[in-house]
Amino acid sequence: MAIAFRDIRKVFPDGTVALDTFDLSFDAGEFIVLLGPSGSGKSTACRILAGLEKPSSGAVVIDGRDITALAPRERNASMVFQNYALYPHKTVYENIAYPLRVRKRARRDIDRAVRDMAGLLQIGELLRRRPRELSGGEAQRVAVARALVWQPEICLMDEPLSNLDALLRLKTRAELKRIHRELQKTFVFV
Ligand code: ADP
Ligand code: MG
30-80 residue pLDDT tens: 999 999 999 999 999 999 999 999 999 999 999 999 999 999 989 999 999
pTM of the model: 0.90
State the distance from the centre of ligand 1 to the C-alpha of 150, rounded, in angstroms.
Answer: 29
Q: Are 30 and 186 a contacting pair, CB within 8 Å?
A: yes
Give the model's pLDDT for residue 1: 75
* pLDDT mean across residues, the chain: 93
39 lines ligand 1 (CB under 6 A): yes
Q: Which pLDDT band, with edges at 50, 70 and 90, does 190 fall under?
A: very high
Helix pair 92-102, 107-120: axis angle to 10 deg: 130
- pLDDT average, residue stretch 122-149: 93
CA–CA separation, 146 and 19 (whole Å): 29
Determine which residue's CA is closest to atom 5 belonging to ligand 1.
Answer: 41
CA–CA separation, 108 and 112 (whole Å): 6
Determine which residue's CA is closest to atom 7 belonging to ligand 1.
Answer: 43
Predicted confidence (pLDDT) at residue 10 exceeds the cutoff of 90: yes
State the distance from the centre of ligand 2 to the C-alpha of 13, rounded, in angstroms.
Answer: 18
List Cβ neighbours of 11 (8 Å cut-off, separation of 6 or more): 17, 18, 56
Q: Are strands 186-189 and 154-157 parallel, antiparallel or unpaired?
A: parallel
State the distance from the centre of ligand 1 to the C-alpha of 178, rounded, in angstroms.
Answer: 31
- pLDDT average, residue stretch 162-175: 83
Give the model's pLDDT for residue 172: 84
Give the model's pLDDT for residue 12: 98
CA–CA separation, 68 and 186 (whole Å): 18
Predicted confidence (pLDDT) at residue 128 exceeds the cutoff of 90: yes
**Residue pLDDT, tens place only, 67-123:** 999 999 899 999 998 777 899 999 999 999 999 999 999 999 999 999 999 998 889
* Conformation bin of residue 151: beta by default, left when phi > 0, alpha when psi is -120 to 50: left
Tell me which residue of 157, 154, 125 sits closest to 62, measured CA to CA. Answer: 154
Predicted confidence (pLDDT) at residue 168 exceeds the cutoff of 90: no
